[in-house]
Structure 1
Amino acid sequence: MTHIVHAAAEDIRSEDSLLLIKELSEELGLLYGGDGTAGFQLSDVEVPRAAFIVARIDGYPVGCGALRPFDETSVEVKRMYTRNGYRRKGIAQAILAEAERLANELGYTNLKLQTGPLQPEAAALYERVGYYRIPVFSGNWDRVLAYQKDLVHEKV
């Protein structure tokens, strides 16, 4: 049975959003050590031109992602996460598609993101959907994989 994934901006302080962020931080903490937050704060997306996206199947929260302003033309994708049991089902692609749609709507020309070397599936996904490698832009850990995707603005 095919379930439709619905990804949309939601309140980052909702119960579902906070639970998804907590699960992701715990998973990243186990992978890389530390608290797994990668310096992300809820307030990072409580500013203009930012968003927090929750993906749902039949109303159940299965993943998330955030858009944090980077500069006037770039937005950073943060907190990309899909719950275990829902991976490899198009959840992350739905989140990224909504992130790109929102970024375009918010007037950005590109999206940037960073992932770690212990997440090869994430890196493969980003490359599959059009992100390309760029120099690390945040943090001082040399093993970070940084990516960018340029948005194509339609002429009206």
Structure 2
Amino acid sequence: MISIITAAKEDIRASESEQLIRELSEELGRLYDSDGTAGFQASDVEVPRSAFIVARSEGHPVGCGALRPINETTVEVKRMYTRPDFRRKGVAQAILAEAERLALEYGYTSIKLQTGPKQPEAAALYERVGYYRVPIYSGNWDLVLAYQKDLQR
């Protein structure tokens, strides 16, 4: 049986949210030999027009993502993560759909994100759902893959 995936804004300080972020940071730390935080802090999404999104399957947290403002018209997706057992089941797409819905609600006209070369599945997903490559817009690591999607009202 296929379970329904839901994604909605939740409190980033909730224990389930913090656990998802820890799992992502550990995974990215192993992939890139770093602390895995990618410069993200919980306070990044405790400002107006930002959000932390949790995806759930049968009530259980299975993934997350965050919306962090860049400027008045552009918001960035950060902390995209799907627990390994739930990958390729629509979790990331549900998170992105909710991120895009919220971005429009908050009045943004474009959404950006960056991923790394050791995450080809993520890059393929972003391209599949309408994101296109742009120059790196944050940080100084030249291996970053940056993407953007223009939002339509």
Partner of 2:52: 52
Shift of residue 140 of structure 1?
Answer: 0.6
Partner of 2:74: 74
Paired AA for residue 111 in structure 1? I
Secondary structure of the corresponding residue to residue 85 of structure 1? helix
Shift of residue 34 of structure 1?
Answer: 1.5
**Per-residue deviation, residues 25-59 of structure 1 (Å, max 9, x unmatched):** 00000000111000000000000000000000010
Which 4+ stretches in 1 moved above 4 angstroms? none
Secondary structure of the corresponding residue to residue 99 of structure 1? helix
In 1, Cα distance between equivalents of 2:40 and 2:33: 15
Q: Mind listing any 5+ residue stretches in structure 2 that lack a counterpart?
A: none
Secondary structure of the corresponding residue to residue 80 of structure 2? strand
Partner of 2:97: 97
Paired AA for residue 63 in structure 1? G
Correspondence 1:136 to 2:127: no
Partner of 1:149: 149
Paired AA for residue 130 in structure 1? G
In 2, Cα distance between equivalents of 1:74 and 1:94: 20
In 1, Cα distance between equivalents of 2:76 and 2:70: 6
Secondary structure of the corresponding residue to residue 7 of structure 1? strand
Shift of residue 113 of structure 1?
Answer: 0.2
State the TM-score, normalized to the length of structure 1. Answer: 0.98
In 1, Cα distance between equivalents of 2:136 and 2:124: 17
Partner of 2:2: 2
In 2, Cα distance between equivalents of 1:13 and 1:142: 32
Shift of residue 105 of structure 1?
Answer: 0.2
In 2, Cα distance between equivalents of 1:73 and 1:144: 22
CA RMSD of aligned residues (A): 0.4
Paired AA for residue 30 in structure 2? L
State the TM-score, normalized to the length of structure 2. Answer: 0.99
**Per-residue deviation, residues 12-33 of structure 1 (Å, max 9, x unmatched):** 0001100000000000000001
In 1, Cα distance between equivalents of 2:26 and 2:12: 17
Count of aligned pairs between the two proteins: 153
Partner of 1:32: 32
Partner of 2:43: 43
Shift of residue 122 of structure 1?
Answer: 0.1
Paired AA for residue 72 in structure 1? E
